[in-house]
A and B are shown apart, each in its own frame.
Chain A
Amino acid sequence: MNPLLEVRNLCVRYGGITAVDGVDLDVMEGERVTLIGANGAGKSSTLKALAGLVAPAGGGFTYGGQDLQSIPPWQRVSRGLALVPEGRGVFNRLTIEENLLMGAYHRKDSSALPGELDHVYGLFARLHERRHQQAGTLSGGEQQMLAIGRALMSRPRLLMLDEPSMGLAPLMVEKIFEVIRKIAAEGVTLLLVEQNARLALALSDRAYVMESGRIVLVDTAAACMENPMVRAAYLGDGGG
């Protein structure tokens, strides 16, 4: 396996606040990696730096062996680097289908789009029913489906998901994770940031734990689930 993503000593600062403080992180081709950490640990900032939405204050990363730092965010998606942002970021006043087509905006092979749409509608039948509705009228769970489906429209090689289960009812969380498992089974490399550590670790190969901008633990997902610190802090395990 080759590393698809190699992050080295990444730093992100907002004015005086250091949000990401020297993060090293690898994701192998085909791997599923989870990044967990408390609120404000710097998880979203890490993903944003990778997607190009914030400029790193130091360090950097290679993707597919290439340094993407000098490449603007809008050119990263065509290399297969896709981010489903925190809070979903659907375009409320575009229809479902227009949102999905935005996901394929960079693609030149427009003849493949109908098939691609069918693929996404196959994963999320609910989106198909409402495809001509404005995205702002969707429920939170449906919006999350849309955000994931939209990212899939870009044909990602590395799909980064920032808290896909945030604010969703348990049943909907289950549904979203089912789809994430399906996507992983299709061979898409995953970097997942998630508060629901139990579900995230269950589908991951490896995990990183982040605290105050630093990586404090790296291990296989299975080992993390047995780790007392992880159990206490992220799996709601009061010891034992």
Chain B
Amino acid sequence: MSGLEDLYREIILDHYRNPRNRGELEVPPATRAEGFNPLCGDEIVVYLHLDDPTRGDSAVVEDVRIGGQGCSISQSSASMMSAAVKGRTVGEVRELTRAFKAMMSIHEGELEGGAAEPADADPSELRLGDLEALRGVVKFPVRIKCATLSWNTLLQGIDDAEAG
């Protein structure tokens, strides 16, 4: 059953059992963005409070809260994301998101059963930290959308905040 342990790393299960930053924020000043995974019915809500949305990439994530329901992968990814982005600038969050999504993208060689470990595609200076634990998800392509759901929802939240 080695495959399963690759997917369900202990730290993932920990975030699933004890999700960080669950709850809601008052809207406004926060924004509320909803994301759906049409594949498995997961629904995620990201509440995002930026100190000053008009400052673009230098606005700071004052607070973030996660609502909704989902599988261990989507929930733990959301939990880790919430911990990783709090206190960061929007610019840093965007970069982190890019790095995370790069880790989650399937490279052709791997689809053919080639490289066992995904090539390190992390282009950023930012460390993914705990989020690295989700690397195993790429071996289970149908679960990739679970892992990226909260990140896409967060980006949507940033766009909503910036649009006022």
- Are A and B subunits of one complex? no
**Chain A interface residues (CB < 8 Å from chain B):** none
